Amino acid sequence: MSTLDAPPSVADSTAQAAPPHPAFAGFERWSGPGDPAMFFDWLGVRTRRDFFSLFQASTASPGPSVLRPAYPPIDEEFFEWVDVLESVRCAAQSGQERFVMIELGAGWGRWLMRAAAAMRALRPAFPVELVAVEAEPEHFGFLLDHLRDNGINPANHDLRQAAVATESGHTPFFVGAGRRWYGQAIAGPDVGPVDAFPEAAIEQVPAVTLTELLEPRARVDLIDLDVQGVEADVLQSAAELLDERVARAHIGTHGAAIERDCRSLFFDLGWSCVRDYPCGGQNIDTPQGPVDFGDGVQSWVNPRLVEQGGAA
């Protein structure tokens, strides 16, 4: 995520057309009572304003008493919405027993909660298993609050206050500035303080591997990965289990070398590339029009676990 990750949209539009992608079809747009302490997205997911220092509840205006939030704008996160919705739909229409999603570098768990809300809208009784890894202590607290605020008991899911790495144990990690910064990452041996966030510090935090997360699960419908520069390393370290058990991956990338390594890994595994947009790309032409990318976006589908037609 970027320095201050944009909070969910609070725009209201009763006349807005559906987004230009079939993934959104069949998911009804939410409307309901507002709350000045919360943001709401189009599925009705509530996000506390005080997760962000610029949007404290004390400065929030009351807003309309009944909200109908807008669909997401066409930006780099639009494609993350598409991957989440398609994963949910594929699981709901399949004969499998549950929907399983892993979010690495989870922040406050927004994509996990969005997936759960989408499944709740499509098949309310369908079991959902959420797996999150988030190392920054304040963000991990946000994750627990966010799930509770949206009717999910954190105790029923696998939520780990840790960094995802290639080896288990402990690893140096930036912590602090939780309400201003969502770019905390594993710290290299020569990395010093972050000038923009002098209150941040490097601490030893627990580390968990992707292999550890995959081993107890026969199938994972979606891995959503935003781990600030170690994307390729994490994925490569669990390549065999990734190919055997994971149906789809959405990756936020942070450099051309990382993008090249991810591309090589998935091509070697025989996965299908759904989209591949480089980080820092300006006015990149997409099927939905020109988009500026801060983080890059790669979406991959495992053809052995997703039926033909399940990808965008």
CA separation (Å) from 293 to 31, 52, 252, 259?
30, 22, 10, 13
Separation between Cα atoms, residue 160 and residue 164, nearest integer Å: 10
Name the nearest CA neighbour of 252 among 297, 187, 188: 297
Residue 14 pLDDT: 46
Phi, psi of 292 (to 5 degrees): -95, 130
Other C-beta atoms lying within 10 Å of the C-beta of residue 95: 4
> Which parts of 108-255 are beta strand (E)?
128-133, 158-160, 163-165, 169-175, 201-209, 222-225, 248-253
Q: Quick one: pLDDT at residue 189?
A: 66
| pLDDT for res 44 | 97
- Per-residue model confidence (pLDDT) at position 20: 81
CA count, 13 A, side-chain hemisphere, 204:
3
Instruction: For the chain of 312 residues, list the mean pLDDT of each consecutive stretch of 10.
Output: 46 59 94 94 96 64 78 95 98 94 97 98 97 97 98 98 96 92 81 76 96 98 92 96 98 94 98 97 94 96 79 42
Identify the pLDDT of residue 311. 43
- Could you tell me which residues are beta bridge partners of residue 32? 67
Pair 134, 142: CB distance under 8 Å: no
Tokens of 191: 């990395």
Give pLDDT, residue 258: 95
Q: How many CB atoms lie within 10 A of CB 53?
A: 13
3-state class (DSSP) for residue 225: strand
DSSP string of 113-148, one letter each residue: HHHHHHHHHH-TTS-EEEEEE--SHHHHHHHHHHHH
Please count the residues of the chain: 312
Report how far residue 219's alpha carbon sits from residue 246's, in angstroms, rounded to the nearest whole number. 6
**What pLDDT is recorded for position 1?**
45
- For 166, the 3-state DSSP assignment is coil
> What pLDDT does 110 receive?
97
Please give the angle made by the CA atoms of 187, 190 and 191, to the nearest 5 degrees. 45
Structure tokens at 286: 């997409």
Strand 201-209 to 284-286 pairing: unpaired
Q: In whole angstroms, how far apart are CA 133 and each of 10, 109, 144? A: 27, 9, 12
Instruction: Give helix then strand counts, H and E, for the chain.
Output: 7, 16
Q: How far apart are CA 238 and CA 255, in angstroms?
A: 21
